[in-house]
Amino acid sequence: NQFDEKRAFGASVSLYEKNPLTGVNAGEPVADVWGVVGRSNNGVLALADGVNWGEGARLAARCAVRGAIDHMNEHIETGNLGNTTEVFHELLASFHSAHSLILQEGGMLTTLCVAVVAPAVHCDSWVLCVCNVGDSLCFVYNRNYGVREVTMGSHDIDQMRDMRDAGGALGPVDGRNPQLHNLTCSMTFVEEGDIVFITSDGVSDNFDPVVGKFCVIKRAEAENKENSQLPPRDNRKLSVTTKDSPSREYARNRPCAASLPCVDAASRHELMLVRMRDIIANGLDPPKEVMRLSPRREPLFPRVTASLLSHRLIQFATHLSQRKAVREKIADMPGKLDHASVVAYTVGRRDSKRDVNSPVLNGINGHHQTNCDIVFITSDGVSDNFDPVVGKFCVIKRAEAENKENSQLPPRDNRKLSV
């Protein structure tokens, strides 16, 4: 067995502040657990994010990853997987094994995301099959199109997501049964060299533009009913009367045009992926290059390894979540405090000379490919930090229905005060 960081890698870190006296991070122990297995023509990666804090949450995450990966390894090694239907059947069975092990060991609640990568038959494409419950999301990084999310079916990107709600979990939610409200099976095609990665919400939430505080949430018209009778802001004026002069009107200053942009739910999700793509491709300090005027024929984004991708995502989440010690300013700082984890796997074949005894997936084998993709899984501690709203570089766009109160307002310049 050999470990190649360029092809498979994972990392976890705590984003919580350290106690100034003990030097121990709040929220210990880290309840994010990941695992990855790479073979000659297939790979399995899993990530679990224990719900809340404590040893029980970490135990649940460990049991989930161990139970799921052991189940998938057993069926891959016996050669029982010949098509995607059988892969998904065993993925769902692996979730049952994970939940049973949690109950057996007395663990608490955890999210779980498991991905299987294998080549398709008689074509140059690879197949990515993902099963997830909770807010641990799976993404794919490609040098031509950037980052795309595979697990979009587990949450509605057209609705604002409540980051406090994981959406589902394994473990004894009601004493014995799990909560499978957003249990989702997803499949997509990837290319050799792509990176598949899974993040915890400690990563993905910190890529949210609202959390990062570079945009704000757009409010619906219904939330602005109190302003419906006001004239437009540009038309509001002050009428001032003095002893030596008749009444004079002074126009109010217009609001600053440098306010944060507003975003709706779909734009918020798209901005998160764009931000994630830029960090993966360039890091926190992108190199300065001379702009090319001629069209580029090479891929738009640079090639990265699984370890470099993981380090850059974790570095961004850590950098964004650093807080000032001043208590009053904590709410104004961008970022979300959480445990942040990423596990990544590079799609492609390994050297058969170094991995002679590695089992393969029967029936999904394909021919050798030349192009490349990387599959990666992050905990929500990573993916949520890429949300443009969490990152606070934009805000959520309000729907028109919430702005009915402003519908009758005259222009701002015509609003007057009679004094």
Note whether residue 201 is domain-resident.
Answer: yes
> What would the mean pLDDT of 298-324 be, rounded to a whole number?
81
Question: What is the Cα–Cα distance from 41 to 350, expressed in whole angstroms?
Answer: 7
Torsion of CA 317, 320, 322, 325, to 10 degrees: -150
Which residue type occupies 341?
Answer: S
Evaluate if residue 334 carries a pLDDT over 80. no
> What would the mean pLDDT of 274-279 be, rounded to a whole number?
91
CATH number at residue 101: 3.60.40.10
Note whether residue 336 is domain-resident.
Answer: yes
Evaluate if residue 359 carries a pLDDT over 60. no
Say which range, 286-295, 309-318, 323-332, has the weakest mean pLDDT: 323-332
Q: Count structural domains, the chain.
A: 1
Q: Within a 10 A sphere around the Cβ of 295, how many other Cβ atoms?
A: 5
- For residue 93, report the phi and psi dihedrals to the nearest 5 degrees: -65, -35
- The pLDDT tens digits of the residues spanning 59-86 come to 999 999 999 999 999 999 888 788 899 9
Which residue type occupies 307?
Answer: S
Note whether residue 273 is domain-resident.
Answer: yes
Note whether residue 228 is domain-resident.
Answer: no
The more confident residue out of 254 and 301 is 301
Note whether residue 249 is domain-resident.
Answer: no
> pTM, whole model, 2 decimals?
0.71
- The pLDDT tens digits of the residues spanning 85-121 come to 999 999 999 999 999 999 999 999 999 999 999 998 8
Containing structural domain, residue 104: 8-218+259-292+301-393
The more confident residue out of 235 and 279 is 279
Note whether residue 36 is domain-resident.
Answer: yes
Nearest-5° Cα angle at 148, 142 to 149 = 135
Question: Within 13 Å of residue 368, how many CA atoms lie on the same side as its CB?
Answer: 6
- The pLDDT tens digits of the residues spanning 242-276 come to 555 555 554 444 444 447 778 888 888 898 899 99
8 Å CB contact between 151 and 121? no
Q: Within a 10 A sphere around the Cβ of 142, how many other Cβ atoms?
A: 22
- Among 122-136, 277-291, 371-385, top mean pLDDT goes to 122-136
Q: How does strand 416-418 pair with strand 237-240?
A: parallel
Return the pLDDT at 195. 93
Question: What is the Cα–Cα distance from 27 to 20, expressed in whole angstroms?
Answer: 14
Question: What is the Cα–Cα distance from 236 to 253, expressed in whole angstroms?
Answer: 9
Note whether residue 401 is domain-resident.
Answer: no
Question: What is the Cα–Cα distance from 121 to 142, expressed in whole angstroms?
Answer: 21
Note whether residue 225 is domain-resident.
Answer: no
- The pLDDT tens digits of the residues spanning 165-176 come to 778 899 998 888
